[in-house]
Amino acid sequence: MTALILWLTAAAPSGAQPETTTTVVYTEVARQQGLDFTHTHGGSGTLFYVETVGSGGGFIDHDSDGDLDIYLINGSPLPGTPPGPAPVNKLFRNSSGHFEDVTTITGIGDTSYGMGLAVADYDNDGDSDLYVTNFGVNRLFRNESGVFHEATSAAGVGDSLWGTSAAWLDYDNDGQLDLYVTNYIDWHLSDHEDCFDRGHLVYCDPGRYDAVVDRLYHNDGEGRFAEVADLALGSPPPLGKGLGVATADIDSDGDLEIYVANDETPNHLYINEGGSYRESALIAGVSHNGGGEVEAGMGVDFSDFDGDGRADLFVTNFSYETYTLYRGLEQGFFQDVTAGAGLVSASLLPLGFGTRFIDFDNDGDVDIYCANGHVMHNIGDIERSLSYAMANQLLRNDAGLFVDISARAGEDTRQQGVSRGLASADYDDDGDIDLLVTNNNGPVSLLRNDGGNHNHWLSIRLHGEAANRDGIGTRVELWSAGRRMVRERSSGGSYLASHDPRVHFGLGSEGVDSLRVHWPGGGSTVVRTPSSDQTLLVRQP
């Protein structure tokens, strides 16, 4: 067992008093807690491009017992791989923080070449269902009392383009969850070619391959979906090389916008205009970075990092590009504040994939965690300043300035890995945010947060009635000691991952004065002076 130990003084939000020094320890517990899983990309030295992209994973309460279980995505053998047992996706049941492999008895052991997942109760029956994106046909698994049955064909969501990240959302506020799927590039095994960089055989660059369209599926409420990208996203829909997708109500008008991080093509921002979308990334200032450059977007997340009540946007990119932090402005516009937030030096060399805004120390400010790893196995022979395996990063928010504390964050943070997916959740229900990191062609990592709950917190579980049962798209405002904090219940975010469905607030040393829950489609619920340090269930009236 190894641990990372963080000594910090919580940043004081506006109107609040500084917190006392807090010790937060992240401990690597995957093997100790029974999470025995190693991803395989299926390669044998030929360097098929698909080997570079996976793997994903995330959290799902598959048996509705209140504990967050873990589903992990695997690859599949590629031409030239020696014969042997086929890799399989796995489901691990959470029993008081220890995990048991229940893949076989739950019927969820898919052997496709997997990428990512999206979790939601799409049929509003009280069970969390699972959508898996693949290099190949994507698959939908309907949950029936803890056992999964494939519903791909019946639902009409089996797209065969190269799917990556996906997000559930109710884009037309009809109470039924729709599905957005990002697709990467037009590439097949038959398109393989040898590529070289300065005399070294390398994986080819995605710039050699054509962009494709994403998919938007509309849920009819009867178990069927219609693909409506032409109708809802534009005819024809914009092309891109999609890797990450996140949703948020960026203009606070009660419906969800969609942001797609594209690889070497301009990113997309779809503004919701009452059930149809207008692509507005360039106008809004988020298609390129502030210097007008197209970047290689990978992971993406929304949250309010500066406490002004508006959604901000964070995107991980390729080495030498830096991450990009966009501050949300009025009327749905954004400003690139990467340099002003202190992120340039911290993100110049890493190649980032999964990323999350998390309040790891429960001080009320959202911090950032990044899962990093290069895509070229021999990059160290080509660029001496880079490496294939990279350290992940914890970037602490000090009043809007992000400080890379990885160098003093302990052994686990400095450990080198080829990380891809990143999912966040309080899997052990102790009030602080834990992290699941998936690694390409390597073992999974589960980082348990010990000590973040020294500060107060509140988690909110939502139950929609007229809205979708999961409450996806709900906006929650919380007031604490004169300070207003805003969070949203969303699906998607990060890269190839699915997260804790609860809305989490760190409170520092304070309690909660009140909170207001704004439900999708209209209406709100007010809760006054709830106790802190609990998970609070809020039902839509």
Average pLDDT over residues 25-31: 91
Output the CA torsion sign for 379, 385, 391, 392: negative
Q: Please list, in sequence order, all residues whose beta carbon lies within 8 angstroms of the beta carbon of residue 367, skipping any fewer than 6 positions away.
A: 357, 358, 359, 360, 361, 394, 395, 396, 397, 402
Statement: residue 469 has pLDDT above 90: yes
Q: Please list, in sequence order, all residues whose beta carbon lies within 8 angstroms of the beta carbon of residue 222, skipping any fewer than 6 positions away.
A: none
Q: Which amino acid is at 531?
A: S
Q: What is the CATH number of the domain that holds 146?
A: 2.130.10.10
Q: Count up the domains in the chain and report the number.
A: 1
pLDDT per residue over 111-167, tens digit each? 999 999 999 999 999 999 999 999 999 999 999 999 999 999 999 999 999 999 999
Which residues form the domain of 369? 3-539
Residue 125 CB neighbour total at 10 angstroms: 12
pLDDT per residue over 29-71, tens digit each? 999 999 999 999 999 999 999 999 999 999 999 999 999 999 9
Average pLDDT over residues 225-231: 98
Q: Which two tokens stand for residue 278?
A: 């207008």
CB 242, CB 182: distance < 8 Å: yes
Q: CA 220, CA 362: separation in Å to the nearest integer?
A: 40
What DSSP line would sit under 493-540, residue for residue?
A: -BSSEE--SSEEEEEET----EEEEE-TTS-EEEEES--SSEEEEEE-
Shortest CA distance to 460 belongs to which of 343, 538, 539, 527? 538
20: confidence class by pLDDT, cuts 50, 70, 90: very low
H helical segments located in 295-416: 344-347, 379-382, 411-414
Average pLDDT over residues 186-193: 98
Weakest mean pLDDT among 80-84, 180-184, 204-208, 374-378: 80-84
CB 252, CB 488: distance < 8 Å: no
Shortest CA distance to 494 belongs to which of 243, 160, 199, 239? 243
Statement: residue 411 has pLDDT above 90: no
CB 162, CB 185: distance < 8 Å: yes
Q: pLDDT value at position 15?
A: 38
What DSSP line would sit under 14-56, residue for residue?
A: TTSPPPPEEEEEEEE-TTTTT---B-----SSS--GGGGT---
CB 190, CB 181: distance < 8 Å: no
Q: pLDDT value at position 23?
A: 75
pTM for the full model? 0.95
CA-CA distances (angstroms) from residue 352 to 56, 291, 302, 391, 492? Answer: 14, 19, 16, 10, 17
Statement: residue 503 has pLDDT above 70: yes
Q: pLDDT value at position 413?
A: 64
How long is the chain? 541
Q: Across 45-194, where does the E strand assignment appear?
A: 57-60, 69-72, 90-95, 98-101, 114-120, 129-134, 139-144, 147-150, 163-169, 178-183
CB 496, CB 131: distance < 8 Å: no
Q: What's the alpha-carbon Rg for the chain, to the nearest Å?
A: 21
Q: CA 438, CA 55: separation in Å to the nearest integer?
A: 6
Half-sphere exposure of 528 (CA within 13 A, CB side): 0
CB 294, CB 265: distance < 8 Å: yes
Beta bridge partners of 269: 259
Average pLDDT over residues 175-182: 99
Q: Please list, in sequence order, all residues whose beta carbon lies within 8 angstroms of the beta carbon of residue 178, skipping any fewer than 6 positions away.
A: 168, 169, 170, 171, 172, 216, 217, 218, 219, 225
pLDDT per residue over 292-318, tens digit each? 999 999 999 999 999 999 999 999 999
Q: Produce one character per residue of 7-26: b if its CB has 16 or more CB atoms within 10 Å, e if not.
A: ebebbbbeebeebeebebbb
Q: Identify the three-state secondary structure at position 127.
A: coil
Q: CA 496, CA 58: separation in Å to the nearest integer?
A: 8
